[in-house]
Structure 1
Amino acid sequence: MITDTHTHLYSEQFDEDRKAMIQRAKDAGVSRFFIPAIDSSYTEKMFSLEKEYPKDVFLMMGLHPTSVKENYLEELNHVKNWVDKKDFYAIGEIGIDLYWDKTFLTQQQEAFRTQIQWAKEKKLPIVIHCRDAFDEIFEVLETEKGEDLFGIFHCFTGTLAQAKQAISYNMKLGIGGVVTFKNGKIDQFLNEINLKHLVLETDAPYLAPTPFRGKRNETAYITNVIDKLVDIYNLSFKEISEITTQNSKEVFGI
């Protein structure tokens, strides 16, 4: 059993072949697809996926930091309304992204903290998006840390020290295509991190692993990520799959 803890199956990039793409993933051994939210414009697509694949698809709810704009309070209200009336498996993806635009940093920080507190209220994990914002993310986590704070540091691309700090906040590290990149760097120290702290992800349709880098990513390519971890940890494909799936069960509770 392989678990993709982060895949945007509702993306427009899959509109032409979504069913075939999901079947390819199943044929590759993936049986659990965790779906992060972005903003209100994708909510109905997420619910349609859940309805079509009720045994395979598990939804999160949250406001992505790049969707924190002038109307962020309205978007946060949308998240809260759904979290209060429907069951989700995580609050995510949430966080801070300073790569594209720093205009709304203060609002991103507020949205991040607010959604963390909702996750605590619901006893749910959080799934963190961090881009060019490790210091800002850690600043918030430092004030929110505790037994009720846990989740996944999605698409981890930091240093060994940052990996250890993320783990100290009860976060698993989401490992995807970046681990296969020649300049990805995390493959150089990952063997110093116990496998119990890792979960697998694709972030499809983004960040396709080598040899598909630069092309559309899809969940079936998670096997390339596993192959890389086989080399790093000197364990079998089956062992990597089973351990990381068990780790995902610890986070999501299923």
Structure 2
Amino acid sequence: MNLIDTHCHLYADEFKEDLDAVITRAQEQGVKRFYLPAIDSTATEAMLGLEQAYPGVCIAMMGLHPCYVKENYKEELAHVKSWLDKRPFVAVGEIGLDFYWDKTFAGAQREAFDQQMQWALDLKIPIVIHTRNAMQETIEAVKPFAAKGLGGIFHCFSGSYESARQIVDMGFYLGIGGVLTYKNAGLPAALENIPLEHMVLETDAPYLSPVPFRGKRNESSYLQYVAEKLADVKKLSVADVAAITTANAEKIFGN
């Protein structure tokens, strides 16, 4: 069985002590590739170092996470642009809108999001979207870019059927992770009538561990629990879920 973790922060400090073991455990569970979303300039060195240590296995994106859009966001965007100009990346991400903690920089978040979507469109690569407490605003921001051919993933999707339908109608994919396994999430019902051809699997490790590891550090080997739950929701075999979501990921990222 081949699985792809389309979104994991394996370069995070939480993995400093046992990263090799974490990757080995995941590979033993069939996870063949790990996509690394960028956060801000402070994470670039560790992320690119991990990509270099595991060529073709750990694959970096480049972007500015909305929670890191602060007073210096223009310098951070310049950092993103300098790397996008320097070498190829599979995606611009993770980017988007997050109004959960603080709306102080809501305007700057929108500006950064639009700018990075335009860069992705210019480079003909997908985007990976982070959205929290801003689902409809995010969808509306993406629509004009999607109309011009931009594609990508709404990472860590946990919204309604109506939101899911809008997203897939734009040609975007839903990133499905540990939230699917949470008892009161309501996500299984939202996904019931959305074809699997519009979904990819992710962990968001070290965050959002699936049941039975909720509250503990997440890691890519736990992707199997997400695949099993999604198979249950879609009334398919785990092998079918793995095959379809892996094909979707390869289509998005082009490898």
Q: TM-score range by the shorter chain?
A: over 0.9
**Alignment match, 2:89:** 88
Query: For structure 1, which runs of at least 5 residues remain unmatched after alignment?
Result: none
| Cα distance between partner residues in 2 of 1:199 and 1:244 | 5
Contact 1:149 1:169 in 2 (8 A): no
- Residues 63-212 of structure 1 mapped to structure 2, 5 A cutoff: 63-212=64-213
| Cα distance between partner residues in 1 of 2:40 and 2:75 | 10
- 1:3 counterpart = 2:4: yes
129-138 vs 115-124, which deviates more? 129-138
Contact 2:164 2:191 in 1 (8 A): no
**Alignment match, 1:247:** 248
Report the RMSD for the aligned CA atoms in angstroms.
0.8
Local SS of the residue matching 2:192: helix
Local SS of the residue matching 1:192: coil
TM-superposed CA distance for 1:167, in Å, is 1.1
CA offset digits 1:96-149 (Å, max 9, x no partner): 000111100000000000000000000000000000001221221123232421
**Alignment match, 1:225:** 226
Letter matched to residue 177 of structure 1: G
**Alignment match, 2:217:** 216
TM-superposed CA distance for 1:30, in Å, is 0.3
Local SS of the residue matching 2:204: coil
Contact 2:121 2:145 in 1 (8 A): no
| Cα distance between partner residues in 1 of 2:154 and 2:92 | 12
Local SS of the residue matching 1:152: strand
| Cα distance between partner residues in 2 of 1:70 and 1:216 | 31
Contact 2:164 2:190 in 1 (8 A): no
Contact 1:63 1:75 in 2 (8 A): yes
Segments ≥4 residues shifted beyond 2 Å: 142-145
**Alignment match, 2:34:** 33
Query: For structure 2, which runs of at least 5 residues remain unmatched after alignment?
Result: none
| Cα distance between partner residues in 2 of 1:101 and 1:144 | 26
| Cα distance between partner residues in 2 of 1:139 and 1:2 | 31
Letter matched to residue 67 of structure 2: T
Q: Percent identity?
A: 53
CA offset digits 1:211-240 (Å, max 9, x no partner): 101111000000000110111112111111
Contact 1:178 1:207 in 2 (8 A): yes
Contact 1:175 1:200 in 2 (8 A): yes
CA offset digits 1:165-220 (Å, max 9, x no partner): 11122210000000000011111231200000000000000000001011110000
> How many residues are matched?
254
Contact 1:94 1:112 in 2 (8 A): yes
Letter matched to residue 43 of structure 2: Y
TM-superposed CA distance for 1:55, in Å, is 2.1
140-149 vs 2-11, which deviates more? 140-149
| Cα distance between partner residues in 1 of 2:136 and 2:48 | 34
| Cα distance between partner residues in 2 of 1:84 and 1:155 | 28
142-151 vs 8-17, which deviates more? 142-151
Letter matched to residue 141 of structure 1: V
| Cα distance between partner residues in 1 of 2:246 and 2:111 | 32
TM-score by length of 2: 0.98
Letter matched to residue 215 of structure 1: K
| Cα distance between partner residues in 2 of 1:101 and 1:61 | 24
